[in-house]
Chains A and B, each alone.
Chain A
Amino acid sequence: MLAYIARRLVQMVPVLFLITLFVFFLVRLVPGDPALIMLGNRATEENIAKLRAHLGLDQPLWVQYGRFMGNLAHGDLGESVRRGEPVTGIIRDRLPPTLFLVGYALLLSTVISVPLATLGALHRERWPDQAVRVFALVALAMPTYWIGMMLLQTFAVKLKAFPVAGYGETLPEHLHSLFLPALALALGIASVLTRSLRNALLETMAADHVRTARAKGLRSRKVFTWHVMRNSLLSTVTILGINLAFLIGGTTIIETIFGIPGLGQLIVRSIFDRDYPIIQGVTLAFGVLVMLVNLLTDLSYAALDPRISYQ
């Protein structure tokens, strides 16, 4: 198991290398010059040349890439063009809110979708099932942005049950502040999860081993928890893993609406500013995050299905 994890981690290195190559050249292919954007209306020829030299942007691309990779090998992501601060520090400050938000959203989406899918599967084709399907469809159709605004308007502005913005400082504060944004993100995935889990449950319920379990007289709750749910979760976990990329994309919008100082908000602003070092750093961080989650997903298969084991 440990050897497997180590192997997977090593395999990440070439992928990360490809990401650096991709991001580095891709952001520079997009028209727009950080020096020009930074100077705005004060961008005289002289000022631009001076600033480009100051930022090291006057060097040939391969020299810049070499320097970037050299620094990266030392764990240094360079300095932000706009803020003049080390990117590693900026990411360290911005990572916790995003991680918390994503984790919270995953948790909420599970809390929402598992009971709903169960309800639907147990009352197949009757009104609870229909209601769950309608819910899933509506949640899927509503853009995260809009859900966020509506939640904010209703629960924060009108009912004042939640703070309108921010992240808070302690764990209870985080849980309180991030509830609405996490819920907005969770609803989007919950619909997909509910539908797939409901179908998986129905499929498993019709399987032979379930009939056997019931035939030998096990109580139906026990059958459902241990034989149906556990076997159905496999597909759900896969979907959850894939949807993490979607979740991270969603944070960019949700963090802006709810004023959460995370990576999503940072990268949006940095793309407008063409703040290359930050874009590179955050993309790498997101890349690592997605790969780690994929690894965790694979590992959880083994926990859910004893037939799967890793060497």
Chain B
Amino acid sequence: MRETTDELAARQWAEWRLTRRGLVRTAAFAGGVVAFGGLAATARPLALPAAAQDAPKPGGKVAMSLADDDVKSFDPIPVTDNMSIWTQQLVYDLLVRTAPDGKSLEPGLAEKWEVSEDGKTYTFHLRDATFHDGSPVTADDVVFSLNRTVSDEASQWGFLFSAVDKIEAVDPKTVKVSLKSVWAPFLADLALFGAAILPKKLVEAQGDDFFQKPVGSGPFMFDHWTKGAEIGLKKNPNYWTEGQPYLDELTFLTLTDANARMLQFQGGELDIVTDVPFSQIEAMKANPDVVMLQDSVARFDQIGINVTRAPFDDKKLRQAMNYAVDENAIIQNVLFGAGKPANTYLPLMYGHDDSVPAYTHDLEKAKALVAESAGKDGFKGELLVAAGDPVGQQVAQLVAADLAQIGGQITITQLDPGAKSERVHGMDYDLSIGYYTTDIIDPDELTSFAVQSDGGTQSLWTGYKNDEVDKLAHAAQTETDEQKRLEMYSKIQQLSTDDAPFIFLYYPTGRDATTKAIENFHVLPTGNYRLWETWRNDQ
């Protein structure tokens, strides 16, 4: 028996509630400490409780949707879109990877590793693994792949590895990475898809053609790719985890239209459908043939406030706006309950602090604050929403109505997503609806681009700057004591929530549905899925 979705969701929320009380923080983060502390980790397979109850059955095929678009490329270094990222993670291996709990790391191609006393040298010991063409994974392949990620001109991910000084092969099974300075999130950065290990010889021999028929060492092998329609992967029989993957074949169908996607699922063409529209969650839950999954994903939906513009440069007004907006009404009416009010810029992930007080809906407080602010005689603002985003449009209307109660005259402007991002990046806006997700399990990436003024994005183009936040963010990057680090991130969350550079909206749940035949399918907080642990119970 698998856990029902409701139980699963309840359990996940319960876990986060416990975290608030600080009870399980140490326990839950123990895995993280092992990984982040850089102690030698042991290869212990981690499984969710649901998986333990039924013995996995090998065999069978699974068809799943790609909801955003086709995979853009199988090259790990230039891609930034989730469809490419999540599919690549089934074909390629990483040195270390995200564990099923989504908060800690576990060994990948690196069976174990050591960190030097000064925290600047990492030594990785590779396991015996082979690429899909049968050739062994060697230190040369690792050095080649990581160098591409760090310094190739096409790489979009070099910025995460700016601390890397040198990557060298000690012997065919050992790789040494030297850092210029201590970099606490280094292992988490290595678990980024962009640091995937590729076969050096094949990539060098085939050039760009390699990525049309990629070869990795991951659980699934590339089989076929009909551009714009489907991608087929086959089981890697020589995968380094005994018995896995269970499934023989995976097919990914590109289905960007939500209605079409749901019809395909109902028509039996899909076993797993991703990105179920909020409005259909209830119907899916009520369907006895369907398992509706609402895994906890690390995503934060917010309204960015341009704090460089009057009157939004007034913190009291921003706080008043936060109190005025009724997040619960939005969650109930737009998300049909599939979310939780947001309290900090860090979504539900490692480092998120649930104890930071959220701006719960309080109209009296909002009115009192606005009376003391630059908006006391009423204020005007333009709210940007992406065209073709029905959820964003509904949220915008509710927010505008809420803000009207404290004297806000909000005009909603719909823009094509590209045009909208141009205005936001040019700081030519008042308010803008947006969201972000995380690529790594460490809070460093989101901190540097959401609230750190010198992180390169002007605090997510809000113009927000708090010297103490900046100082703490830098200190956290080099702090090796995990407990101290977590405290720093808690402090950053307290400060930035109080400063309110955003209207904190919600953390939505994942929305995926499977047929009853699919066992042990879960979406990690980073959005990807460990399909090598999934099986069919009808085999």
Which residues of A pack against B, CB within 8 Å? 30-33, 36-47, 50-51, 54, 82-85, 90, 93-94, 149, 152-153, 156-157, 160, 163-167, 256-262, 265-266, 269, 272-274
Contacts and interface: CB of A to CB of B under 8 A. Distances in A.
B517 interface: no
A166 B259 CA distance: 16
A156 B267 contact: yes
Given A36-B421, A258-B260, A259-B229, 18 more contacts: A30-B416, A31-B416, A33-B418, A36-B418, A37-B418, A44-B455, A54-B153, A84-B75, A84-B154, A85-B73, A157-B263, A157-B267, A164-B269, A165-B255, A166-B253, A259-B264, A260-B229, A273-B418
A259 B457 contact: no
Contact of A166 (B208, B229, B455, B460): B229
A47 B153 CA distance: 11
Contacts of B255: 165, 259
A261 B71 CA distance: 13
B63 to A, nearest CB: 10
| Most B Cβ at <10 Å: residue of A37, A42, A84, A157 | A42
A84 B256 contact: no
Given A41-B436, A47-B456, A83-B73, A32 B257 contact: no
A248 to B, nearest CB: 17
A261 B227 contact: yes
B253 A45 contact: no
A84 B155 CA distance: 13
A172 B465 CA distance: 63
Main SS at interface, chain A: helix
A42 B156 contact: yes
B228 A272 contact: no
Contacts, number: 135
A84 B78 contact: yes
Contacts of A269: 69-70, 256
A33 B267 CA distance: 39
Contacts of A51: 156
A84 B76 CA distance: 12
Interface in B229-282: 229-230, 253-257, 259-260, 263-264, 266-269
A150 to B, nearest CB: 11
B257 A261 contact: no
A161 to B, nearest CB: 11
Contact of B72 (A30, A39, A83, A166): A83
Contacts of A262: 228
B53 interface: no
Interface in B262-315: 263-264, 266-269
B417 interface: yes
Contacts of B423: 31
B229 A261 contact: yes
B159 A157 contact: no
Nearest to A164: B267
Using C-beta atoms within 8 Å of the partner chain, give the interface range for chain B: 35 or more
A33 B419 CA distance: 8
B214 to A, nearest CB: 13
Contacts of B256: 256, 265, 269
Interface of B: 69-70, 72-73, 75, 78, 80-81, 153-154, 156, 159, 208, 211-212, 226-230, 253-257, 259-260, 263-264, 266-269, 416-419, 421-423, 425, 436, 449, 455-457, 460
25 contacts: A32-B416, A32-B418, A36-B422, A37-B418, A40-B421, A43-B421, A43-B457, A45-B456, A47-B456, A54-B154, A84-B208, A94-B228, A152-B263, A160-B267, A165-B269, A166-B230, A167-B229, A256-B256, A257-B259, A259-B264, A261-B228, A262-B228, A265-B228, A269-B256, A272-B417
Q: Which 8 A-B pairs have the closest CB atoms?
A: A32-B418, A44-B456, A261-B228, A261-B229, A164-B267, A31-B419, A157-B267, A257-B260
A47 B159 contact: yes
A254 to B, nearest CB: 10
A39 B156 contact: yes
B346 to A, nearest CB: 14
Contacts of A258: 260
A234 B309 CA distance: 64
Contacts of B154: 54, 84
A31 B422 CA distance: 7
Contact of B227 (A38, A93, A164, A165): A93
Nearest to A37: B418
A257 B257 contact: yes
| Most B Cβ at <10 Å: residue of A43, A152, A160, A166 | A43
A256 B256 CA distance: 7
B69 A259 contact: no
A45 B449 CA distance: 12
A30 B227 contact: no
Nearest to A84: B73
A105 to B, nearest CB: 18
| Most B Cβ at <10 Å: residue of A82, A149, A160, A274 | A82
B260 A152 contact: yes
| Most A Cβ at <10 Å: residue of B159, B263, B417, B425 | B263
B264 A42 contact: no
B434 to A, nearest CB: 8
B253 A259 contact: yes
Given A156-B263, A165-B255, A261-B228, A50 B416 contact: no
Contacts of A153: 263
Given A42-B449, A47-B456, A93-B227, A37 B421 contact: yes
